[in-house]
Amino acid sequence: MEFFRIKKDIPFMRHALALNALSLITFFAAVFFLWQNGLHLSIEFTGGTVMEVSYPQTAPLDSIRSKVEKLGYSDTQIQNFGSSRDVMIRLPLQRDSEGKMISSADQSAAVMQVLEPSTSGVKLQRVEFVGPQVGRELAIDGLMALLFVIIGIVVYLSFRFEWKFAVAGIIANLHDIVIILGFFAFFQWEFSLSVLAAVLAVLGYSVNESVVIFDRIRENFRKYRKMSTSEIIDNAITSTISRTVITHGSTEMMVLAMLIFGGPTLFYFALALTIGILFGIYSSVFVAAALAMWLGVTREDLVKGDKKPDDVTRNDDPNFGAQV
């Protein structure tokens, strides 16, 4: 399915060096902000108090957030839990004026006091303390999940295509992940488990675009024997632009709906996905494809098993290889 077809190949690889230099600058800037500022971790990683409260009717989440913020909590997580009447409230660790840690019981009592249980019918169902040790375990588990995903992608691309594509693909995907983390470090947006899930989703989503382009490059190498590698890659990218617009456009429509209408619970999850989708398109075209070209991928790398390859040249297709 295609919305449109571009008849003349766009010379993407002609500008690959300049655009990859820009990517390198962006990458190092993200690394700098991660080192300088660090991530603003949620209480799921740092520890805190978890409360579950129940309302007789649909819980007014916006009103709950405003009342809890008046207690001095700026990094709370308040969301429905199970039903629209049940609410989960996560409070970060807090110290009193003397520097002593406020207990979970005192935190929950202060919250229940501002929620006015005597008039609104709010009931406290459960209070738990989440220690920093649990947060460290979650962070380690998240890093291990990220590592296994990376290894799986490298193995898959190596078997599906060739090791040069595997190296190019994983560098491009790590480029996307680091830039997402750099945005969160620079703006000090809250990094929670949902954002970590978005990062892992982007890692798999971004490689899909690279695989589509790599697959078209392999087809072109089999079909067009007398074209240069850069011309092969330019045509592969140009011929998949319509598919990219359809796929990423429809995905981004859903993500933007979550970003705008999903409320605070889904905001940073959708924001991480939005950044990842945009940079995933960019890296698949200008980073992954260009790196594969610079690593010296050739026709022989991809069509070793062909006994009688097609002998199609640019003269056989008047629309093929024409440059804008």
Choosing from 130, 163, 193, the residue where a domain stops is: 130
Q: Compute the CA torsion angle 52, 56, 60, 61 (nearest 10 deg).
A: 20
80 and 34 co-located in one domain: no
pLDDT at position 294: 92
Assess whether 115 and 159 both reside in one domain: no
Strands (E), 27-138: 40-41, 48-54, 77-81, 83-92, 123-130
The answer to the question of residue 80 being in a domain is: yes
Residue 4 pLDDT: 65
Shared domain for 312 and 214, answered yes or no, is yes
Q: Are residues 300 and 198 in the same domain?
A: yes
Tell whether 153 and 287 lie within a shared domain: yes
pLDDT number for residue 1: 55
Q: For 163, which DSSP code?
A: H
Domain boundary residue, one of 130, 164, 194: 130
The pair phi, psi for residue 287, each rounded to 5°, is: -100, -60
225 Cβ neighbours under 8 A, 6+ residues apart: 299, 309, 310, 311, 312, 313
3-state secondary structure of 71: coil
Model pLDDT, residue 180: 94
pLDDT of res. 304: 59
4 belongs to a structural domain: no
Rounded to whole angstroms, how far apart are CA atoms 117 and 122? 5
Q: Do 109 and 166 belong together in one domain? A: no
When divided into structural domains, the chain yields a total of: 2
Instruction: Tell me the pTM.
Output: 0.80
The residue from 95, 130, 165 where one domain ends is: 130
291/268 same-domain check? yes
CATH number at residue 260: 1.20.1640.10
Identify whether 322 is part of a domain: no
Does residue 176 sit in the same domain as residue 301? yes
Instruction: Identify whether 198 is part of a domain.
Output: yes
Residue 7 lies in a domain: no
Q: Domain containing 90: what range?
A: 48-130
Q: Domain of 120: which CATH number?
A: 3.30.70.3400
Spatial distance between the Cα atoms of 311 and 324, rounded to a whole number of angstroms = 25
Tens digit of pLDDT per residue, the chain (324 long)? 566 678 888 999 999 999 999 999 999 999 999 999 999 888 878 878 889 999 888 888 888 888 888 888 877 888 888 788 899 898 888 877 777 788 888 888 888 888 876 556 888 888 988 776 666 777 788 788 888 888 888 788 878 777 888 888 888 888 899 999 999 999 999 888 889 889 988 887 888 888 889 889 989 988 888 888 899 999 999 999 988 888 889 999 999 999 999 888 889 999 999 999 999 889 988 899 999 999 988 877 766 555 444 444 444 454 444 444
In a domain? residue 324: no
Q: Could you tell me which residues are beta bridge partners of residue 323?
A: 9
State phi, psi for 311 to the nearest 5 degrees: -120, 75
Domain for residue 3, yes or no? Answer: no
Both 17 and 141 in a single domain? yes
Residues 126 and 182 in one domain: no
User: 121 and 64, same structural domain?
Assistant: yes
State whether 239 and 97 are in the same domain. Answer: no
Is residue 210 domain-resident?
A: yes
